[in-house]
Amino acid sequence: MINARSLYIDTEKPALSIIIPVYNEREVLPLCLTRLANVIKKLDVTTEILFIDDGSEDGSPEYLAKQTVREASVRIIRLTRNFGKEAALTAGLDHAHGDAVIILDADLQDPPELIPDMIEQWHFGADVVLMQRSSRAGEGWLKRSSAHLFYRLLQRLSKSEIPADTGDFRLMSRRAVDALKQLPERNRFMKGLFAWVGMPTVIIKYDREPRAAGNSKWDYFSLLHLAIEGITSFSITPLRWVMSIGVISALIGGSFGLWIIFKAIIMSDPVHGYPSLIAVITFLGGIQLLAVGIVGEYVGKTYIEAKQRPNYLVRDEIHTSDAMEAFFEIRSEERNIHVKAS
């Protein structure tokens, strides 16, 4: 393929924005940049790379600021602290200028080499090019099977089709991005929001690679949190389940009570109260707590939405060309603080 442009000119609007959320990825960034540059070199669209630094503490943004990628313009947007990947992606979508946007993980689990195929589908008219994992190398069976279960459950519960085994790795046209930006909610379960938008979608299957370096930022607890978030953001079916469970257990409890009264009056049977009472009380108590918990999840969501806080805050935006100056300022500011403190 021919490299149609040599250097990106600032006034030129990029055709393609590549959004990469970064949270403590210093170890993998050099390889990430090399592989990206190799791919971008062969593209015939002007490209910007948008790194969203989600409050890294390992010098990732400082490293990025010193790099220059000949083939693309690089912008680094630093958030004020760690807001989480979903917020970082939202920041990326808000700041991307491209006619198409590709979301990529920094750890190279989403191979950048697939970008040309995605662009090809976009040129054919797709608004969304979804990358579906056909394998998940480097991830244990527990993660794989719980992910499988989660996607199946989510699909049954929510009205919008959330495709199984797709992550955030995808291309979106400007039209799709603008549509997505109209969704103002604070509980940002991105996969669900993407699916809600709809639009002509092409699915490409690929093999998910293991992380190139560094560690995953997700533990099982945060994955469970994401799963609850995903389900409660997109479906109120669990509330109905709770109601049905309540009705069913009330019916069972009620008929059991009638049966005991019947036995006592007609058959003069002395009631063995204690064990049956304990069983009924713990059973109903458990169900009640579960129900309160599920209702609470939704009430909490409403509370968070009602506060209308922004999803993220930007600390600063750095173009690689003026990076040195920007970082000099930061360093001196930090030194001042240090002097005052000692």
Residues that bind Mg ion (CB under 5 A): 105, 107, 109
Residue 96 interacting entry, from Mg ion, ligand UDP, none, C-beta within 5 to 8 Å by type: none
36 versus 65: smaller Cβ distance to Mg ion = 36
Among 23, 169, 189, 194, binds ligand UDP (CB under 6 A): 23
Q: Measured between alpha carbons, how far is 181 from 126 in angstroms, rounded to an integer?
A: 19
- Per CB under 6 A, the list member of 19, 22, 212, 318 interacting with ligand UDP is 22
Rounded to the nearest whole angstrom, what is the least distance from the CB of residue 309 to ligand UDP in the complex?
17
Q: Are 205 and 167 contacting, i.e. CB atoms less than 8 angstroms apart?
A: no
Of these partners, ligand UDP, Mg ion, none, which one is at the site of residue 144 (CB under 5 to 8 Å by kind)?
A: none
Decide: is 15 part of the binding site for ligand UDP (CB under 6 A). Answer: no
Q: How many CB atoms lie within 10 A of CB 44?
A: 12
Nearer to Mg ion, 210 or 293 (CB): 210
Is the CB of 19 or the CB of 294 nearer to ligand UDP? 19
**Least CB distance from residue 240 to ligand UDP, whole Å?**
31
**Residue 53 binds which entry of ligand UDP, Mg ion, none, CB below 5-8 Å type-dependent:** none
Q: Report the partner that residue 192 touches, choosing among Mg ion, ligand UDP, none (CB closer than 5 to 8 A by kind).
A: none
Which residue's CB is nearer to Mg ion, number 105 or number 229?
105
Q: Which residue number, 109 or 187, has a Cβ lying nearer to ligand UDP?
A: 109
Closest contact distance (angstroms) between CB of 281 and ligand UDP is: 42
Stretch 204-243 residues interacting with ligand UDP (CB under 6 A): 216-218
Of these, 21, 92, 112, 238, which contacts ligand UDP (CB under 6 A)? 21
The number of angstroms, rounded, from the C-alpha of 234 to the middle of its chain's C-alpha atoms is 14
Q: How far is the CB of 341 from ligand UDP (least distance, A)?
A: 29
Give the number of C-alpha atoms closer than 13 A to the C-alpha of residue 233, restricted to the C-beta side.
23
- Least distance between Mg ion and beta carbon 110 (Å): 8
# binding residues, ligand UDP (CB under 6 A): 16
**Shortest distance (Å) from residue 152 CB to Mg ion:** 22
* Binds 48: which of ligand UDP, Mg ion, none (CB < 5-8 Å by kind): none
* 98: Cα separation from own chain's centroid: 21
109 binding ligand UDP? (CB under 6 A): yes
| CA distances (Å), origin 6, targets 15, 33, 37, 77 | 15, 17, 13, 24
Q: Is 25 in the site for ligand UDP (CB under 6 A)?
A: yes
Sketch the per residue contact string, 61 through 100, with ligand UDP: x for CB under 6 A, - otherwise.
Answer: ---------------------x-xx--x------------
Rounded to a whole number of angstroms, the CA Rg of the chain reads: 26
232 interface partner picked from Mg ion, ligand UDP, none, CB below 5 to 8 A per type: none
Query: For binding to ligand UDP (CB under 6 A), which residues are involved?
Result: 21-23, 25, 54, 82, 84-85, 88, 105-107, 109, 216-218
